Amino acid sequence: MPMSLSRGRLLYIAAVLVSGIVIGFIVAPRPHLQELVVPPAAWPFAVSLVLDMIIGQMAAQGRAEPLTMGDRFVAVLGAGLIVTAMVAYAA
């Protein structure tokens, strides 16, 4: 049985994936950013954390559906792969 995603969960996944594209565009032409303590491929975790906190508060108030671990996994892993690919192809 296929599992349908709510609009909020889809927006979360899309927003984190788009953040991966934005981070890739920022980091790809600037190789010095790839040498930071926290690698750019991990930056989508920060975006995910902020969005997760907002959605979590909305879910507690009954205004949104809570995120699942699968939602988080797909969004953060996908965004990290996007950043990694953009940086690799820029080199």
**20 contacts 82 by C-beta, under 8 angstroms:** yes
* pLDDT above 70: percentage of residues in the chain: 97
pLDDT digits (tens, 9 = 90+) for 20-50: 999 999 999 998 998 999 999 999 999 999 9
Q: Is residue 2 part of a domain?
A: no
Q: Is the pLDDT of residue 16 over 80?
A: yes
SS3 82: helix
Asked if 17 and 82 touch (Cβ cutoff 8 Å), the reply is: yes
Q: What is residue 3's predicted lDDT score, i.e. its pLDDT?
A: 66
Question: Over 70: is that where the pLDDT of 74 sits?
Answer: yes
Structural domain including 49 reads 7-90
By three-state DSSP, how is residue 32 classified? Answer: helix
Work out the angle between the directed axes of helices 69-90 and 43-60 (0-180°, nearest 10).
Answer: 160
Q: How many domains, in total, are found in the chain?
A: 1
The answer to the question of residue 83 being in a domain is yes
User: Does residue 1 surpass a pLDDT of 50?
Assistant: no
Domain-embedded: residue 27 = yes
